[in-house]
């Protein structure tokens, strides 16, 4: 009798206490950011000369957002928006911070809270491997902005092969270290080590490769594979991208080996479009490139994977989304409520990507980059960008110096004209007026740039 009573009590307690399964565990978060990757340089986007099966697998096992954007056509502003979930122009982070020796006291404003801060407060382990580019002073470095661990470099670019120490060195935490391997391989090694250390607890790993940003340093172990590419720069680019693809594959394989792939929400993006002549990238049918508000500067590969049925695998999502959405999306996935006082511009994409709502996440998306501007609302885009598409990647000094206005902006219907070849402004003046008014209202909410190309000054 007593034995039966004990069993009954244990059964009741068991029913009341949910098991600690993958269903109740907070998901791990993995952001993988490529640097200066051309939109057309992935196999899944039609690339023929450089296979990218590992990166493609994130899309094939998740959702590929066909109209995925970043909020700036440049490295540092995009990263600021990604980590805050807010348009970086709202707090003056419109341009790159420049070199350490030139601007040691500027970086992601301390008024902003990072995603790492928020997830750390929610019990996550937080780590960054790779490129930072959000400030050099102690108050701006990753370990002061929510990341418990950091391995990488603070600036905007770094050699891939071993080089001299100095202000462009590789850091572990805040201490400079020497490395003797190809840098993309080094970052893969460090990411894998991070996963080994934290596999049993929820983590946020921000994995920011500098590939395929310059300098153009080939990964020699892939050189023979691309001997058929006649253009030397494109051949070098192919080895760099393949090293990146293999590195992503190693990280994905480690997640699987540790048995945590199903528990990890993965997002893959590029920080901006490719600067085509600079690194031999290819933005495909998109007009323009890095540092412009043409599609080639701001539309990027954008894949989100969360296995075990949490997001549908092998699907596409066509409504416009932006990298600002990733912060509120992972906060929702992690059970962290968003406080309205945070004033996030991004939205939780989970119900959209799951098909639980058919409404578009955004009525409009906005851009301002010096003298360039853009707004996308539905299929319509109004933009004022560098003349000729900015294929050189520099964006034009004058265009970055001036203040953006809507005068002379061009109108495109991206559903019919993804390459922005047919300006419809004269044909649809009312649509131009409508979009211009919406953009001007948004622009009126923004801060002046805290640094960077001066505004309202004549060309030097």
Active site members: 75, 133
Q: Which residues pair with 150 in a beta bridge?
A: 128
**Other CB atoms within 10 Å distance of the CB of residue 18:** 9
Contacts of 246-250 with CB under 8 Å at 24 or more apart are 246/54, 246/188, 247/184, 247/185, 247/187, 247/188, 247/191, 247/209, 247/211, 248/32, 248/54, 248/55, 248/58, 248/188, 249/53, 249/54, 249/57, 250/188, 250/192
CA 136 to chain centre: 20
**Residue count of the chain:** 460
Short-list 325, 432, 457, 424, CA closest to 373: 432
In sequence order, the 6+-apart residues with CB closer than 8 A to the CB of 257 are none
Helix (H, G, I), strand (E, B) or coil at 205: strand
Q: Is the peptide bond before 189 cis (omega within 30 degrees of 0)?
A: no
Contacts of 452 (CB under 8 A, 6+ apart): 94, 95, 96, 98, 370, 400
Cα gap 435→423, rounded to integer Å = 14
**Hey, is 342 helix, strand or coil?**
helix
Strand partners, 317: 65
Question: End-to-end CA distance of the chain, in Å?
Answer: 95
Helix (H) or strand (E) holding 321: strand 321-322
291, 394 Cβ separation under 8 angstroms? yes
Radius of gyration of the chain, Cα coordinates, nearest whole angstrom? 23
Nearest of 39, 57, 98, 24 to residue 454 by alpha carbon: 98
* CB-based contacts of 305, cutoff 8 Å, min separation 6: 58, 59, 61, 62, 63, 265, 266, 267, 268, 311, 313
Q: Residue 118 belongs to what H/E stretch?
A: helix 115-121
């Amino acid at each position: 009798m007593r034995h039966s009573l004990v069993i009954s009590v244990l059964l009741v307690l068991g029913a009341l206490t949910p098991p600690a399964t993958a269903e109740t565990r907070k998901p791990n978060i993995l952001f993988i950011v490529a640097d200066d990757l051309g939109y057309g340089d992935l196999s899944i986007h039609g690339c023929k000369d450089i296979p990218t099966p590992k990166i493609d697998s994130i899309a094939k096992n998740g959702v590929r957002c066909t109209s995925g954007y970043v909020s700036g056509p440049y490295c540092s502003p995009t990263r600021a928006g990604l980590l805050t979930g807010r348009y970086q122009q709202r707090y003056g982070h419109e341009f790159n911070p420049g070199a350490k020796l030139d601007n040691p006291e500027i970086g992601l404003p301390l008024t902003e809270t990072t995603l790492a801060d928020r997830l750390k407060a929610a019990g996550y382990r937080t780590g960054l491997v790779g490129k930072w580019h959000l400030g050099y002073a102690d108050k701006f470095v990753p370990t002061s902005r929510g990341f418990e661990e950091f391995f990488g470099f603070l600036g905007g670019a770094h050699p891939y092969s071993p080089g001299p120490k100095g202000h462009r060195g590789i850091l572990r935490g805040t201490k400079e270290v020497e490395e003797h391997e190809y840098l993309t391989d080094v970052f893969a090694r460090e990411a894998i080590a991070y996963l080994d250390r934290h596999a049993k607890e929820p983590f946020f790993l921000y994995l920011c490769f500098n590939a395929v940003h310059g300098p153009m340093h080939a990964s020699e172990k892939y050189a023979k594979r691309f001997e058929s590419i006649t253009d030397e720069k494109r051949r070098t680019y192919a080895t760099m991208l393949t090293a990146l693809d293999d590195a992503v594959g190693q990280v994905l394989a480690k997640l699987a080996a540790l048995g945590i792939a199903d528990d990890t929400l993965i997002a893959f993006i590029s920080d901006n479009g490719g600067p085509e002549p600079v690194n031999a990238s290819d933005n495909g049918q998109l007009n323009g490139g890095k540092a412009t508000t043409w599609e080639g500067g701001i539309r990027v590969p954008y894949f989100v994977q969360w296995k075990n049925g949490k997001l549908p695998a092998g699907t596409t999502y066509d409504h416009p989304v932006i990298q600002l959405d990733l912060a509120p999306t992972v906060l929702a996935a992690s059970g962290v409520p968003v406080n309205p006082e945070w004033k996030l511009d991004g939205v939780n994409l989970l119900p959209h990507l799951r098909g639980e709502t058919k409404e578009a996440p955004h009525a409009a998306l906005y851009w301002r980059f010096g003298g360039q501007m853009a707004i996308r609302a539905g299929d319509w885009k109004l933009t004022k960008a560098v003349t000729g598409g900015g294929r050189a990647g520099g964006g034009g000094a004058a265009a970055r110096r001036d203040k953006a206005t809507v005068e002379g902006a061009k109108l495109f219907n991206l559903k019919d004209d993804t390459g922005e070849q047919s300006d419809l402004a004269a044909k649809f003046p009312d649509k131009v007026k409508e979009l211009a008014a919406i953009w001007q209202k948004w622009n009126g909410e923004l801060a002046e740039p805290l640094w960077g190309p001066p505004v309202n000054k004549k060309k030097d």
